[in-house]
Structure 1
Amino acid sequence: MGRPTDSNATTDESLTVRDNRTGKTYTVPYRIKDNTVSAAAFKAIAAPLRPEERVENETPKGLRVSDKGFLNTAVIQSQITYIDGDAGILRYRGYPIEQLALHSTHLETAYLLIYGTLPSEKQLRQFDNEVMSHSYVHADAENFFRSFRYDAHPMAILTSAFAYLGSYYGEANPSLQGQKLFTNGDRSSLANMDRQIFRIIGKATTLAAMAYRVRQGREFVIPPAGLSYTGQFLYQMDHLGQENYKPSPVLEKALDVLFLLHADHELNASCTTVLQTGSSLVDPYSAIAAGCASLYGPLHGGANEAVIRMLISIGSPGNVPAFLESVKRREKVLSGFGHRVYKTSDPRSFIIRKTADEVFKVTGKDELMETAMALHDAAIKDEYFVKRQLAPNVDFWSGLIYRAMGFPLDFFPVLFAVPRVVGWLAHWRQMMLQEGGVKIWRPRQVYVGSAKRDYVPIGNRPVVRGLKVEPLPVPHSGISKRTELAEFTGKSKL
């Protein structure tokens, strides 16, 4: 902010703040643009440290803006995805998600998200060819995947695989090639960036299929030619040597729609993680691996899996009323309803519901469907959930589709991650090319810990005990207990 002003006069598109601690009035030096004001401007609002106040508050250094969980903090300007949570609107580059789901494909939408426009026939053909041509992985990848335990979670495998993939492409590493590798914006830099985008999107299905097959104890399948993006994915997961094998067109189309719907969702946790990691100018493979790790969590990519586990626990439609009552008492969690952004219905949920009907026509209705419908109908009519704006979201239906298609529960987050790499890459590319270059993301904290204290020699320290201030004992295996009882040179005496 600028210097304190003596009057309360304001100009259009500006913000004036009065600090009641000092009586000073400040005017933001930059006009309000896009309904946004600079948080850094508030550092100019400084006050003397009060006698009872902690030095660690750094009050004389200026006011900080607290926003736990990033509820109202904009960290970047973006042209990619627009969400109006109150109205239930989702648009990719201005196009309503409903229109894209009806008329577009996942790869065409990927082109739109990354490059900003819908492609011509020639542009789409070239993009499709590049992505599919980059679906192959080095033969050494087989050894990498076989190194995991037979029961390793497929999301852990996929996360590791993206980081592993980056080790093959030194040309994509700013630590090796110079930190302006992707930020120059010249022809060479853009071509290098495009190559990595093709590789990551193309190999995402291959890595996911390999994670699936290693869990099944199957040999890996080379990506076939002539199939669509999702057709190739299904082939790599399921082909067991049958002649002229072709995945079901209904399932292929349904998966393509699901991929399109999951391709991007603005600055969700995983996308923010990709940008936070990418802001250090790390290679894109490491940034994507970080996004996978974030998506892995049950509050994000694991939500549709949680829906199925919830429906299984309910058991039958007759148990729905009792379950909802337990939710109201906060004894149970209602998964698949409500959203951090959407305060009305998730627009994707309507599209997925229609897709579910198409899938069930060929797979048969899932046995959990009746329970799901009973839960859906009861919740949307219950004042408790309506008042709290807990409408069905995308995860409520997508889990049922994945289950009907025969995917194991722990593979659901992988089916989320594969299409979401498109959105991550779109935002990563946008950040690399943003005006003014890339600045490393370094948020502030509010320190509430101990004030300065002096070191105490170990013999003079009081014993401090408590559940959260000392490590808890960990039970060890039998061999550890036997070793503990054995005698040997250098044994620690506790």
Structure 2
Amino acid sequence: MTVCEYRPGLEDIPAAQSSISHVDGQKGILEYRGIRIEELAEKSTFLETAFLLIWGYLPNRHELAAFQSEVLNSRRIKYRIRDMMKCFPESGHPMDALQASAAALGLFYSRRDLHNPIYIRDSVVRLMATIPTMVAAFQLMRKGDDPVKPRDDLGYSANFLYMLNEKEPDPLAARIFDVCLILHVEHSMNASTFSARVTASTLTDPYAVVASAVGTLAGPLHGGANEEVIEMLEKIGSVENVRPFVEDALHRKAKIMGFGHRVYKVKDPRATILQNLAVQLFDKFGYDKYYEIAVELERVMAEKVGNKGIYPNVDFYSGLVYRKMGIPTDLFTPIFAIARVAGWLAHWKEQLAENRIFRPTQVYNGEHGVAYTPINQR
């Protein structure tokens, strides 16, 4: 029998073949279906990018208009799901509320007709349309307010920002938020995507697939890091405190949130775009002192550990962008999920095309031949 090499975290072990996205961590390249992320951020929209990922090609005008119409007209959630969400504790984290709500959708649409293209499309549309509504609804409900109904005249990103505070957003803020969704929509075989594909491989429904991925994304080592970046910047407090903070953290071998990536050994290309988006927001809506701290932190970290390939990742500047938009810190990761749903669904669809259930092996390191001890002898 061949002895398998154990690699913690399955590092460098391929889990699937995929044509959805490509990451070159040495050169700082991210592509969706072969298109560079910089080009999509500049020229595309979130729904167009989602279509590209899920169906494998850029839609023509008619196809994109039809997809947009389907999504924008499917954003309302059933009153029973709203009633269920009203029973969630106000102190609960929005990611936990989102996971429960996404799973609950499966109770209403649990038919697993996975060979039917109409079922596939309806599921994609429903999940992409309702996830933002549920995130916004819980945000208002936990404050004791009724949720705001979606507006059919607003686009995908503008409508979400509207549902958060019942105020139509500035066009620049809506566009920047849309770009943020593009940047977060997909990133190869990360933890939540792997979770989605494992769940998909059992041929369960897509609502369970998304719920499992949301639960994985909730962890601070994955999607939750941008919340901790803001907390870290607040703790540092001033530019003068940056160097002592970094030196102390490195001495204690403590993780500095927003830095380092399992794949990227240069600055994450999404972090570069997000930094530029933050500057655009500050130019129009006012300065944020924590940006100056972040820039100094990036400089000192490059000096101290840049030679080890530790640079800002996507989480480092995204929180500053959301913060300037007035979005609560604990909604940062649910917003990540709003974007990543399209990526998860692309992988769900790809998994179904040539499915085989995941069944990895393990390296057993326990004892053998242990005798059972009767309870009266223990």
Q: Same fold (TM over 0.5)?
A: yes
Q: Aligned runs of 1:341-490 on 2, under 5 Å?
A: 341-380=263-302, 382=303, 384-434=304-354, 438-461=355-378
Structure 1: distance between partners of 2:110 and 2:247: 56
Q: Work out which of the two has the higher radius of gyration on C-alpha atoms and give 1 or 2.
A: 1
Structure 2: distance between partners of 1:431 and 1:333: 34
Return the letter of the residue paired with 1:102: E
Return the letter of the residue paired with 1:214: M
Q: Is residue 176 of structure 2 the alignment partner of residue 254 of structure 1?
A: yes
Q: Is residue 52 of structure 2 the alignment partner of residue 112 of structure 1?
A: yes
Return the letter of the residue paired with 1:450: E
The answer to which of 284-293 and 215-224 deviates more is 215-224
Q: For 2:11, which of 51, 55, 71 is the aligned residue?
A: 71
Query: Aligned-pair distance for 1:459?
Result: 1.9
- How large is the RMSD of aligned CA atoms in angstroms? 1.2
Indicate conservation of the 8 Å contact 1:93/1:112, yes or no: yes
Structure 1: distance between partners of 2:44 and 2:252: 41
Structure 1: distance between partners of 2:307 and 2:283: 35
Q: Aligned runs of 1:217-236 on 2, under 5 Å?
A: 217-236=144-163
The answer to which of 353-362 and 260-269 deviates more is 353-362
User: Helix, strand or coil: the match of 1:118?
Assistant: coil
Match of 1:55 in 2: none
User: Helix, strand or coil: the match of 1:216?
Assistant: coil
Match of 2:203 in 1: 281
Indicate conservation of the 8 Å contact 2:258/2:312, yes or no: yes
Structure 1: distance between partners of 2:54 and 2:5: 32
Match of 1:4 in 2: none
Structure 2: distance between partners of 1:194 and 1:330: 50
Q: For 2:75, which of 123, 135, 153 is the aligned residue?
A: 135
Query: Aligned-pair distance for 1:367?
Result: 2.4
Give unpaired runs (5+ residues) of structure 2: none
Match of 2:99 in 1: 159
Structure 1: distance between partners of 2:90 and 2:276: 36
Indicate conservation of the 8 Å contact 1:323/1:332, yes or no: no
Query: Aligned-pair distance for 1:215?
Result: 2.0
Structure 1: distance between partners of 2:23 and 2:292: 31
Indicate conservation of the 8 Å contact 1:162/1:289, yes or no: yes
User: Helix, strand or coil: the match of 2:79?
Assistant: coil
Indicate conservation of the 8 Å contact 1:254/1:355, yes or no: yes
Q: For 1:197, which of 95, 104, 124 is the aligned residue?
A: 124
Indicate conservation of the 8 Å contact 2:138/2:147, yes or no: no
Structure 2: distance between partners of 1:327 and 1:388: 16
Structure 2: distance between partners of 1:433 and 1:133: 28
Q: Is residue 230 of structure 2 the alignment partner of residue 308 of structure 1?
A: yes
Indicate conservation of the 8 Å contact 1:274/1:288, yes or no: yes
Return the letter of the residue paired with 1:224: R
Q: For 1:95, which of 26, 35, 60 is the aligned residue?
A: 35
Match of 2:87 in 1: 147
Provide runs of 4+ in structure 1 moved above 3 Å: none
User: Helix, strand or coil: the match of 1:167?
Assistant: helix
Aligned length: 378
Structure 1: distance between partners of 2:68 and 2:320: 29
User: Helix, strand or coil: the match of 1:449?
Assistant: coil
Higher helix share: 2
Structure 2: distance between partners of 1:149 and 1:114: 35
Give unpaired runs (5+ residues) of structure 1: 1-60, 174-180, 240-244, 462-494
Query: Aligned-pair distance for 1:312?
Result: 1.0
Structure 1: distance between partners of 2:252 and 2:91: 33
Q: Is residue 25 of structure 2 the alignment partner of residue 85 of structure 1?
A: yes
Query: Aligned-pair distance for 1:418?
Result: 0.5
Query: Aligned-pair distance for 1:200?
Result: 0.4
User: Helix, strand or coil: the match of 2:30?
Assistant: strand
Query: Aligned-pair distance for 1:331?
Result: 5.1
Query: Aligned-pair distance for 1:166?
Result: 0.7
Match of 1:269 in 2: 191
